[in-house]
Amino acid sequence: MMPESGPVEGSFHLMGGDFTNAGSASSELKAKLVKFGVAQNIVRRAAIAAFEAEMNVIIHAVAGTLHYLITTEALTITVTDMGPGIKDIKLAMQEGYSTAPDWVREMGWGAGMGLPNISKHSDAFKLDTVVGEGTTLEMFFYIKERNADG
Amino acid sequence: MLTVSAIAEKLGLRVAVQGDLSEIVSGCYISDLLSDVMAHSNDHELWITLQTHPNIVAVAVIKGISALILTNGRNPEPATVKKAEAEKVTIMISPHSTFELAGLLYPMIKDSLPPQAGPS
């Protein structure tokens, strides 16, 4: 599961408003996970969750980073941004609720499915947010416990 | 096994960007909401949409979509074509409406699958 050299980590820069390159970090991360031999069901779920987190930065924040850490225990993806923060986490977790502007919704984003999708596709996640400063989202994918199911 | 090229040929789809036309097709998902596609589409499915901007390519790559089909004769944006070429994602164009295209595709996909499985 983990490369023989030990834990692997890396990160990608994310630019707010950069819709042209949206998904690039998540695609690269997906390719890396495949290369490192991470189980297919984890790669599939991690790619979806990472892409949603990446989009949240592109839609709402000025800039951010996507960091990944692979150990024998878990894959941890941490997305940190300088952005507006989340005023009401309970509302943001509610499917269908979104603060995205209309033009973003016209692109088919901003359906209020981002955080619900992240919740559904990760084994656990942690959200730290400060209004007016930014948000840190940690997503965990357990490698040992969840090998067999999808 | 049904392939992208067989579908393109049978339904007279115009191939705007040619990726791997020998990709197999095991189902189809229809949505213009990208997060919905992220949540509910599966590997090796077709994705029918009216969205034409470059993000559809990124979603197709992340989800392992076999090919994108734009309906009502819509053309992908130039930036979408460029990205799809780089990522080798097939984009096809149908003159049909989404409803008509889905109706034509349904029996094709259903007949190509083992009897117990329906199209996803």
Q: Please, which residues have CB within 8 angstroms of residue A147's CB and are 6 or more apart in sequence?
A: A39
- Residue in the block written with tokens 């997060």: B35
Domain spans, chain B: 4-112
pTM of the model: 0.91
Residue A149 lies in a domain: no
Can you tell me the distance from the alpha carbon of B60 to that of B67, in angstroms, rounded to the nearest whole number?
8
pLDDT of residue A148 exceeding 80 = no
Q: Which helix (H) or strand (E) holds A82?
A: strand A74-82
Interface test with A, best of B55, B57, B81 (most A CBs within 10 A): B55
Q: Which residues of chain B have pLDDT under 50?
A: none
Q: Please, which residues have CB within 8 angstroms of residue A143's CB and are 6 or more apart in sequence?
A: A1, A2, A38, A39, A42, A70, A71, A72, A73, A74, A75
Maximum distance among all alpha carbons in chain A?
Answer: 47
Residue A129 lies in a domain: yes
Q: Are the Cβ atoms of A113 and B39 closer than 8 angstroms?
A: yes
Can you tell me the distance from the alpha carbon of A59 to that of B59, in angstroms, rounded to the nearest whole number?
16
- Nearest-neighbour CA in chain B from A12: distance (Å): 16
- Look at chain A and report how many structural domains it folds into: 1
Which of A44, A108, A121 has its CB closest to that of B34?
A108
- Nearest-neighbour CA in chain A from B61: distance (Å): 7
The 10s digit of each residue's pLDDT in A95-146 is 999 999 999 999 999 999 999 999 999 999 999 999 999 999 999 999 875 4
Section A18-25 average pLDDT: 95
Residues of chain B neighbouring A47 (CB-CB closer than 8 A): 62-63
Can you tell me the distance from the alpha carbon of B20 to that of B98, in angstroms, rounded to the nearest whole number?
23
Q: Where are the alpha helices (DSSP H) in chain A?
A: 24-35, 40-60, 89-92, 102-106, 114-121
Q: Are the Cβ atoms of A120 and B39 closer than 8 angstroms?
A: yes
**Residues counted in chain B:** 120
Provide the domain limits for residue A109.
Answer: 9-142
pLDDT for A36: 92
C-alpha closest to that of A119 among B98, B5, B35: B35
Which of B35, B36, B58 has its CB closest to that of A23?
B58
pLDDT of residue A84 exceeding 90 = yes
Residue A28 lies in a domain: yes
Which of B35, B51, B61 has its CB closest to that of A111?
B35
- Nearest-neighbour CA in chain B from A86: distance (Å): 19
Return the CATH fold of B4-112.
3.40.1390
Q: Could you report the predicted ipTM of this complex, rounded to two decimals?
A: 0.87
Q: Are B62 and A47 in contact (CB under 8 A)?
A: yes
Tally Cβ neighbours within 10 Å of residue B46.
Answer: 27
**CA R_g for chain B:** 13
The 10s digit of each residue's pLDDT in A23-43 is 999 999 999 999 999 999 999
Residue A67 sits in a domain whose CATH number is: 3.30.565.10
